[in-house]
């Protein structure tokens, strides 16, 4: 028991690595602030292009979305980070992470938006258009607000997944929370820093996970 506490819950070590982990948390939040808006915007674009009437754009895009949903994000990240330099394209860890996340998250967000837009009946489009609104205005003012509300649980739940996913950036030495914790672990030969990181992730994400559960129940009873 003593040994377990020493290995996983060593308070002295936790206090010592706290500033390092706090900096890691800052980097994680910075990364989230980059990749979440990028993914949300990219996903909306994907959904609109997939919903459009242009068949020439539709099929290649659908193939691309399935491709990026099939490839594990870590594979994309390593491909961009250590594969592209062979072709003379050297990306910084930040750029590689953003690119890999963009490919992955805009595909997932795109599918969610698409489900939302499809949940709005044709009658709504027709009614809005008949009042004199243009196609774009109908989309922005009539369809999207309802579509987003319908798929809000999925949007939030996917965002939780994206925040969790930022931990894979540690694999390409991006100094986010898990990377800092793992570095502290290898310096102290003790797992308490990783436990501390786990606690920080839980403190950050637990409220969101609860929110997802509540939203799911709320929409279900509508």
Partner 1 sequence: MTNWQRFVDTFFKPEMMRQYWPSIAQGVLVTVEIAAAVVATGLLLGLLLASLRAYRWQAINVVIVIFVDVFRALPPLVAILLIYFGLPGVGVNLPSFIVLWLVLSLVLAAFAEEIFWAGITSTAKGQWEAARSTGLSFSETLAFVVLPQAIRLGVPPLTNRTIAITKNTALGTVIGVGEILNQATAAQSFSGNATPLMMGAIAYVLLFVPVVVVGRWIETRFAWRRA
Residues at the contact surface with partner 1, assessed by CB under 8 A: 3-4, 7-8, 66-67, 69-76, 78-79, 82-83, 86-87, 160-161, 164-168, 170-171, 178, 181-182, 185, 189-191, 194-195, 197-198, 201-202, 205-206, 208-210, 213, 216-217, 220
Long-range contacts of 14-20 (CB under 8 A, 24+ apart): 14/192, 14/193, 14/195, 14/196, 16/188, 17/180, 17/181, 17/184, 17/188, 17/192, 17/193, 17/196, 18/196, 20/180, 20/183, 20/184, 20/193
Closest contact distance (angstroms) between CB of 197 and partner 1 is 6
Q: Which is nearer to partner 1, 82 or 92 (CB)?
A: 82
Q: Is 38 exposed, middle or buried (0-12, 13-18, 19+ CB in 10 A)?
A: middle
* Minimum CB distance to partner 1, residue 182 (Å): 6
CB-wise, 25 or 138, nearer to partner 1?
Answer: 25
Distance of closest approach, residue 3 Cβ to partner 1, in angstroms:
5
DSSP state of 167: G
Q: Tell me whether residue 99 or residue 197 sits nearer to partner 1 (CB atom).
A: 197
Closest contact distance (angstroms) between CB of 135 and partner 1 is 26
């Amino acid at each position: 028991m003593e040994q377990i506490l020493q290995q996983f819950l060593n308070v002295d070590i936790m206090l010592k690595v706290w500033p390092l982990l706090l900096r890691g948390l800052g980097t994680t939040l910075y990364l989230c602030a980059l990749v979440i808006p990028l993914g949300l915007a990219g996903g909306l674009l994907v959904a609109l292009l997939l919903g459009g009437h242009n068949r020439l754009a539709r099929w290649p895009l659908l193939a691309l979305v399935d491709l990026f949903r099939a490839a594990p994000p870590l594979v994309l990240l390593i491909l961009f980070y250590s594969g592209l330099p062979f072709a003379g394209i050297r990306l910084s860890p930040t750029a590689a992470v953003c690119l890999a996340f963009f490919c992955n998250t805009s595909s997932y967000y795109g599918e969610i938006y698409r489900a939302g837009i499809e949940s709005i009946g044709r009658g709504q489009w027709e009614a809005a258009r008949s009042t004199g609104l243009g196609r774009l205005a109908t989309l922005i003012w009539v369809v999207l607000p309802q579509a987003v509300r319908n798929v809000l649980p999925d949007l939030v739940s996917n965002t939780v997944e994206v925040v969790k996913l930022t931990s894979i950036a540690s694999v390409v030495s991006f100094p986010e929370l898990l990377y800092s914790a793992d570095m502290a672990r290898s310096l102290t030969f003790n797992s308490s820093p990783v436990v501390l990181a786990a606690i920080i992730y839980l403190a950050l994400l637990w409220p969101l996970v609860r929110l997802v559960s509540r939203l799911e129940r709320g929409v279900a009873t509508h």
